[in-house]
Structure 1
Amino acid sequence: MICPFCKDKDTSVIDSRATEDGTAIRRRRVSACCNQRFTTFERVQFREITIIKKNGRKSPFDRDKLTRSVMISLRKRPVDVDTIEKFVSKIYRNLEDLGQNEVLSTTIGKFVMDGLKEIDPVAYIRFASVYTNFKEVKDFEEFVDKLDVPKKK
């Protein structure tokens, strides 16, 4: 494994353990060159999943891209990193459970929307604003009015 700090190839594993949900191995590593520590994750990949975008283009599924998208929605929200990691793992398992090599991007969007609705309503609205392409303030109003969230007076 290459050290992300000094780019040296000589790194050692100092600790390994399964993640809480058991879907990955978390490894703590140290660089022999700069002595910096970093964490890597090892996951099982059953098949290559290809995402079919709304415009018909195809691209390989990118777990990191999904994680970044979810993190943007949850920015400055009271949700810990472990919850986010479990959420992304659950979405990935759902995709694997479909048993398909090609998945519509709208399917992933639905999985994310359903999960964020349970995790954090503000993140849910943030994600929805991009995912459903809100154009005007009234789009937000209509979306929020459909939510089953009590409004403050």
Structure 2
Amino acid sequence: MRCPFCQNEDTQVKDSRPTDDKSSIRRRRFCAGCGARFTTFERVQLRELTVIKKAGRRVPFDRLKLERSLDIALRKRPVESERVDRMINGIVRRLESMGENEVEVEDIGNLVMEGLAGLDQVAYVRYASVYKNFREASDFVNFLHNINTNDGEGD
């Protein structure tokens, strides 16, 4: 594993332990070159996923992009990072277990919406505003009305 600070490839694992949800291994590493310590995570990957974008373009699935979009939706919300990690792991497992190597971007968005609906209503609305491309205030009003009418089932 290359050191993120000095790019030295001579790093050593000092400690390994499973994460709380047992979905990955947390490894503390030490760089022999610069003496820095850093953490890496090892996860099981069932298959290489390709995302089919709305315009038909195909791109590799990027777990970090999913994490970043959830970080934005959940910014300044009182949600524990462990719950977010469990949600992300669940989404990735569901995508991998669909049996297909290609997944539509809408499928990912729907899984995120489903997860956020049960995690945090404000983050759910924030994510929906981007995912559903809200253009004016009435889009928010209609979405919120549908949430209240359908008890969070979506629009």
Tell me if TM exceeds 0.5: yes
TM-score, normalised on structure 1? 0.92
Residues 10-89 of structure 1: pairs in structure 2 closer than 5 A: 10-89=10-89
| Structure 2 residue aligned with 1:140 | 140
2:106 maps to 106
Q: Which runs of 5+ in 1 are unaligned?
A: none
* Matches of 2:56 and 2:72, distance apart in 1: 25
SS in 1 for 2:125: helix
- Structure 2: stretches of 5+ with no match in the other structure: none
Runs of 4+ in 1 over 3 A off after TM superposition: none
Aligned residue for 1:72, secondary structure, equals helix
Question: In 2, Cα distance between the equivalents of 1:69 and 1:51?
Answer: 15
How far apart are 1:5 and its partner, in Å? 1.8
CA drift of 1:109 comes to 0.3
1:121 corresponding residue in structure 2: 121
Local SS of the residue matching 1:95 = helix
Deviations 1:129-149 (A, max 9, x none): 000000001101111111237
The CA distance in 2 between the partners of 1:29 and 1:83, in whole Å, is: 25
Moved more, 126-135 or 35-44: 35-44
Q: What TM-score, normalized to structure 2?
A: 0.91
SS of the equivalent of 1:84 reads: helix
Q: Tell me the distance in 1 between the aligned counterparts of 2:83 and 2:29.
A: 23
User: What code does the residue aligned with 1:78 have?
Assistant: P
Aligned residue pair count: 149
